[in-house]
Structure 1
Amino acid sequence: MFGMVPFDYNNHNWFDAFDNFEKNFFGNSNVDLPDFRTDIRAVDDKYILEAELPGFNKEDIQLDVKDGILTITAQHTENEDEKNDKGEYIRRERRYGSFRRSFDVSGIDENAITASYKDGVLELTLPKAQQVLPESKKIMIE
């Protein structure tokens, strides 16, 4: 593994320019969701990855490993409806957000990865793969 460096998807395109224009024109309303923060530390024969995901339920978080890439995805939907006696809305607020980050996990034993989620922090234990040393064989001559 090459130091558990996260991939950075800065895919600048024309749609980003429109989004940035809208944000600058209408002002920042604090609804932007930045990338979630992660801490990665090496401990003996494993890595510990801690990702801050406050406000999410365990069911909102998905972990996938494919082709040596670990992807953490978290999606959140929140609806707050207040209605009067007639069932008409007097206030209705909705908030949606999703996060996605990917990490190179080459050199990790993918089958032994474990995860837990407590108090808004996702903790992954990523055991380092055991190095396979080439086996030497002696061949007898008859």
Structure 2
Amino acid sequence: MLFPTVYGENLFDDLDNMFGLTSYEGEGRRDPLFGKNASRIMKTDIRETDTSYELDIDLPGFKKEDIQAHLKEGYLTITAQKGLERDQKEEKTGRYIRRERYSGSCSRSFYVGEHIREEDIDAKFENGILQISVPKKAPEVPVQKQIAIK
């Protein structure tokens, strides 16, 4: 499994760092594995069954059309992207003083093996959770052919 890549920084991190303040994002901000972006990473549970690996990825606030999954060279990459511009179109009055809702994109990759194909993977998005099933498949072992010696 690869470590996730998260794009889109908190606007107020620089001010917090300049004045030695801590973030309101909780303990995850100083997570040694994911750093200050820990609260924005696609939190993932991975279960192993007899026949597959089951991934449950939290993507609250995203819609199905905001999410993409790609398989390339054995890596399954999930990318989610959303902006707040569609919310702005619905506004009628007032102006924002501060905006804290997440806007941006995040991406996470998992190595599933080069023997897995796109059609082998099942994915479903429901209630903010992306559920992915990757079958356990043994890599195809090339059959060694004998050459007849005359």
TM-score (norm 1): 0.68
Counterpart selection for 1:51 from 52, 57, 76: 57
2 CA distance for matches of 1:72 and 1:124? 10
More strand per residue: 1 or 2? 1
Judge conservation of contact 1:68–1:106 (CA < 8 Å) in 2. yes
Question: Which structure would you say has the larger Rg?
Answer: 1
Shift of 1:36: 1.5
1 CA distance for matches of 2:143 and 2:5? 41
- Structure 1's consecutive aligned runs of 4 or more residues displaced over 6 angstroms after TM superposition are 138-142
**What are the ranges of 5 or more consecutive residues in structure 1 without an aligned counterpart?**
11-15, 84-88
Judge conservation of contact 1:108–1:128 (CA < 8 Å) in 2. no
Aligned to 1:7: 3
The one-letter code matched in structure 2 to 1:125 is: S
2 CA distance for matches of 1:105 and 1:46? 11
Tell me the C-alpha RMSD between the 2 structures.
3.1
Instruction: Calculate percent identity across the aligned residue pairs.
Output: 38
Query: How many residue pairs are counted as aligned between the two chains?
Result: 125
Shift of 1:139: 6.5
2 CA distance for matches of 1:91 and 1:110? 48
1 CA distance for matches of 2:113 and 2:131? 19
The one-letter code matched in structure 1 to 2:130 is: L
Aligned to 2:33: none
Aligned to 2:95: 91
The one-letter code matched in structure 1 to 2:80 is: A
**What are the ranges of 5 or more consecutive residues in structure 2 without an aligned counterpart?**
26-36
Shift of 1:128: 1.8
Larger deviation, residues 101-110 vs 67-76: 101-110
